[in-house]
Amino acid sequence: MTIGMIGSGNVGGALGTRWAKVGHEVVFGTRDPKSKEVQQLVAAAGGKTRAATMADTARAGEVLLLATPWPATQQILAGLGNLNGKVLIDATNPLLPDLSGLTHGTTTSGSEQVAGWARGAKVVKAFNTVGANIMANTSFGAGRPVLFYCGDDAAAKQAVKPLIEALGFEAVDAGPLSQARLLEPFALLWISMALVHGLGREFAFQLLRR
Amino acid sequence: MTIGMIGSGNVGGALGTRWAKVGHEVVFGTRDPKSKEVQQLVAAAGGKTRAATMADTARAGEVLLLATPWPATQQILAGLGNLNGKVLIDATNPLLPDLSGLTHGTTTSGSEQVAGWARGAKVVKAFNTVGANIMANTSFGAGRPVLFYCGDDAAAKQAVKPLIEALGFEAVDAGPLSQARLLEPFALLWISMALVHGLGREFAFQLLRR
């Protein structure tokens, strides 16, 4: 299969190199196909790889991988012309420049609303990202599920952490309460996978480290 | 420590029972402390547990666990009075009744925007939830990182799945493209933990099943 990388930076470079190593024909799309950087990438990837303009890459690829910086994404796609029937794998994220949030989709959280309603309380978000069945029983053989918590009061978080650990979770401090903007969609991912998209309720997430 | 459960349904019941088993004093807050359901919960939890009204529970608890149905949350909190200095663990999620989304915070996704820009393409969201370093090398000893993908075209998703698996990920179909509303915040969770909140870049998520 010919895979066209729309963007050959960190993500496009890593994925294209690995797909080339397993035998796919990879085209690294770039503003300047003659640049030293992309030529080094092609040489390192080996196999059937080459560099091309973004538009040539889009024409050549049976599957396209979109890995552009978000601010450039609209303009680059506009320059590709018609993509009729192409499979476009979107690996972008609409990140704000300082990584403090997303430009699309997330604006606030239930927990920030709760903090407005719960007069005087020190709110810590926790225990929202897995079902009650996992909270009742955190055993997965050798695996240990992760549970994130977040809040704006350090002492309150220190009080909550052992309550998480007492149940067998790995407790991970995810930062300020505004991180609930991420933990609530993470919860809905669990819920939707458990109830709608086929994983069932008896799953959880573990952190892998190296 | 005395822990007050603001809400004693599935989540409050599971957490209160387990904290009671490890020696905490647990108060199960409920609309009707004399109901058969909550009395059974108290009997099953054992240890130093009792049932109480929501307001009494809030007064008694050194730490409060908020596990209310979202539509009832504002009213229940309003009935608790001043929570000055209390640690309130928020386990709620602002779910729409049909679980199709959140009432607060998430409205759309970059990927749905990309689908509007990429004329004719079949967009599949993938490879956005971990850093390029993980895509370059998915090895974590015996662990296998998960990679979610989503999209509205079944054939396009079938084409993308083996490209994910070829890199050593467990590929999990998360449903339609609108699920990017969850996968993009999931990505920002990875990014924020990797770059800001202390996990570093060499981590990923694995699914645990049982």
Cβ–Cβ gap A114/B90 under 8 Å: yes
**Nearest C-alpha of chain B: how many angstroms from A34?**
23
For residue B210, name the pLDDT band (cuts at 50, 70, 90): very high
Least confident of A101-110, B4-13, B110-119, B176-185: A101-110
d(CA A127, CA A147): 7
Q: Residue A27 pairs with which residues in a beta bridge?
A: A4, A50
Q: How many percent of chain B have pLDDT more than 70?
A: 93
Higher-confidence residue of B173 and B14: namely: B173
Q: B102: pLDDT confidence band, cut at 50, 70 and 90? A: low
DSSP state of A18: H
| Verdict on whether the full-model pTM lies above 0.80 | no
The predicted complex's ipTM stands at: 0.78
User: Given A3, A86, A93, which is nearest B184 (Cβ)?
Assistant: A93
> Quick check: A67 and B127 in contact, CB under 8 A?
yes
* Chain A residue closest in CA terms to B122: A87
Distance CA A182, CA A190 (A): 13
Of A114, A126, A128, the CB nearest to B73: A114
Looking at the complex, does the CB of residue A55 fall below 8 Å from at least one CB of chain B? no
Q: Do B160 and A87 touch (CB under 8 A)?
A: yes
The DSSP bridge partners found for residue B51 are: B28
CB interface of B with A, residues 165-184, below 8 Å: 166-167, 172-175, 179-184
Helices B36-45 and B10-21: crossing angle, nearest 10°? 30
B95 touches chain A (CB under 8 A): yes
Given CB atoms, is A65 within the 8 Å cutoff of chain B?
Answer: yes
In tens, the pLDDT along B133-184 reads 887 888 999 899 999 999 998 988 888 888 888 888 899 999 998 888 888 8
- Per the rule left: phi > 0, alpha: psi between -120 and 50, beta: everything else, B92 is beta
pLDDT of residue B63: 84
How are beta strands A87-90 and B122-125 bridged, if at all?
A: parallel
Task: Tell me which CATH code domain A110-195 carries.
Answer: 3.40.50.720
Q: Which residues of A touch B73 (CB under 8 A)?
A: 110, 114, 117
B131, amino acid identity: G
Per-residue pLDDT, A90: 80
**A91 touches B: beta carbon within 8 Å:** yes
* Statement: residue B104 has pLDDT above 70: no
The answer to which of A104-108, B42-46, B54-58 has the lowest mean pLDDT is A104-108
Q: Are A172 and A148 in contact (CB under 8 A)?
A: yes
Position A7 scores a pLDDT of 94
- Supply the CATH classification number for the domain B2-90: 3.40.50.720
Alpha helix positions (H), B46-179: 54-60, 70-78, 110-117, 132-136, 154-165
Ranges B22-31, B71-80, B124-133: which has the least confidence? B124-133
Interface size between A and B, measured as CB pairs under 8 A: 381
Q: Quick check: B44 contacting A, CB < 8 Å?
A: no
- Is a pLDDT exceeding 80 seen at residue B107? no
Residue of B nearest to A134 (CA): B14
Average pLDDT, chain B: 86
Can you give the pLDDT at residue B120? Answer: 74
Q: Along chain A (210 residues), what's the average pLDDT of each consecutive run of 10 residues?
A: 90 86 92 95 93 95 86 86 80 68 68 73 80 85 93 86 86 91 87 91 96
For chain B, say whether A75 makes contact (Cβ under 8 Å): no
A204 interfaces chain B, CB cutoff of 8 Å: yes
Asked if B207 and B172 touch (Cβ cutoff 8 Å), the reply is: yes
Query: B93 to chain A: which residues are within 8 Å by CB?
Result: 110, 128, 184, 187-188, 191
Q: With contact defined as beta carbons under 8 Å apart, do A147 and A129 qualify?
A: yes
Helix (H, G, I), strand (E, B) or coil at A114: helix
Q: Do domains A2-90 and A110-195 have the same CATH topology?
A: yes
Nearest to A19 by CA among A55, A62, A81: A62
Give pLDDT, residue A102: 62
CB contact under 8 A, A119 and B145: no
Please state the domain extents for chain B: 2-90, 110-195
Strand order in the sheet with B25-30: A170-173, A146-151, A122-125, B87-90, B63-66, B2-6, B25-30, B49-53
Contacts of B21 in chain A (CB under 8 A): none
